[in-house]
Amino acid sequence: MKRWRPVGLTRRHGLAAALALLILTDVAGWPATASAESGPSVSSSFSPDKLGRVGDYLRNEIASGKIPGAVLLIQQHGRPVYFQTFGVRDVATRLPMTADTIFRLYSMSKPVTSVAAMMLVDDGKLSLDDPVAKYIPAFADLKVGVEKSGEALMLEPLNRPITIRDLLRHTSGLTYGFYGDSAVRKLYAQANLFDGDADNAEFVARIAKLPLAEQPGTLWDYGHSTDVLGRIIEVVSGRSLFQFEKERLFDPLGMTETAYFVADAAKQPRVAEPMPADRFITPVAGIRDPMTPRRWQSGGAGLVGTIGDYARFAQMLLNGGTLDGRRYLKPETIALMTLDHIGPETGIVRDQFYFPGASSGFGLGFAVRTSTPPNTSWPLGEYRWDGVAGTFFFVDPKHDMFAICMIQTPSQRGRIQLELKTLIYEALDR
């Protein structure tokens, strides 16, 4: 299959530029296009003129000094209908944003780890109903921290074990220590979880010494569940998380730039940076400089990668688990992952930190659209996730498409994601 990159990336938008975006050419270093598995490509249903507004929006964000640059891909029927780079990857170096720019993915690591775990489920080596303690015995002795007014934190026994399903849908009771002010979250923040150069086994052993924030299966609580899942992948497979992902996902898919840090000094200038005033002062979720080698392979937040790599992953999902004739997951497994697993019938509560939003449930690794938000045409069944540094993606099976935006802007990410998605769907002719 030919390698591709749309040409005409610096031209003003309009019909000519939009058509140029569809020209395929051989370019070394750009991953091969991800292909649909359902048959010949059909014509795009996007308006070239309306797609021009998407580029205008990002150029305006750069001109107004809010972001250094971005890369955006919209792919439908297995072919790119819009691909463009904008601005620079770093305002200090002024190096232009390119297709091979490397981004901190943060929580966009979670869908990758979730898929890796479900591959083991498909292999018959892991079950969704398995207790976590089957693979990490220390989890059998966990307690739940209960706050009562005017009293010290009380520790209560588990009503039931944490399961693999709980880890995938964030109902394990494990949390993060960098948001919220509950007593358990404060314990997480004070526990020195990220000290030294711990590997996944050591990190999970530290987590197991802390109380849960709530009983398993009672509340959607965003935290270290996927990091623990990554350790379980190691225990079951007998490999490090990266080794397993590399052998089963990254190498076969052609995700050659995806890793847990950028070890090669020659690649480090390709790492995108936020605006100088828009950078994390302290590590988030324990992730520090992506160019510093570390033993900890955070399944929840540790990956770095390029838009081309993630496009291969997204197309595999959209294809129902296959890409270029190779199967990674069963179609029924993809269908299961993209159902809502925390709906009203489950009794799982959503609090003020329910990040998927009111119109979405949560599956096994993704937020899943369950109702159409007001004043939008966003389809039911669309699934997605994002990263705290600004990257985001969504997969839309109804329209046989996905979109990925790679950007590094912690402070502007929510606003930009919402406005870009609105513009993308306004460009979709029906």
Q: Which residues are catalytic?
A: 107
Return the sign of the alpha-carbon dihedral for residues 288, 176, 145, 216.
Answer: negative
CA distance 301 to 299: 6
Distances (CA, A) of 241 to 131, 226, 251, 353, 399: 20, 12, 14, 28, 33
Q: DSSP string of 228-245?
A: HHHHHHHHHHSS-HHHHH
Q: Which residues contact 370 (CB under 8 A, 6 or more apart)?
A: 340, 343, 359, 360, 361, 380
Distances (CA, A) of 270 to 106, 264, 265, 266, 303: 17, 11, 10, 8, 15
Given a contact cutoff of 8 angstroms between Cβ atoms, the answer to whether 379 and 372 are in contact is: yes
Q: What is the 3-state secondary structure (H, E, C) of 175-200?
A: CCCCCCCCHHHHHHHHCCCCCCCCCH
For tokens 């790119």, the residue is 80
3-state secondary structure of 362: strand
Task: List phi, psi (to 5°) of 114.
Answer: -65, -45
Distances (CA, A) of 1 to 35, 252, 280: 9, 14, 40
Amino acid at 56: D
Given a contact cutoff of 8 angstroms between Cβ atoms, the answer to whether 393 and 378 are in contact is: no
3-state secondary structure of 374: coil
For tokens 């018959």, the residue is 124
CA distance 225 to 166: 8
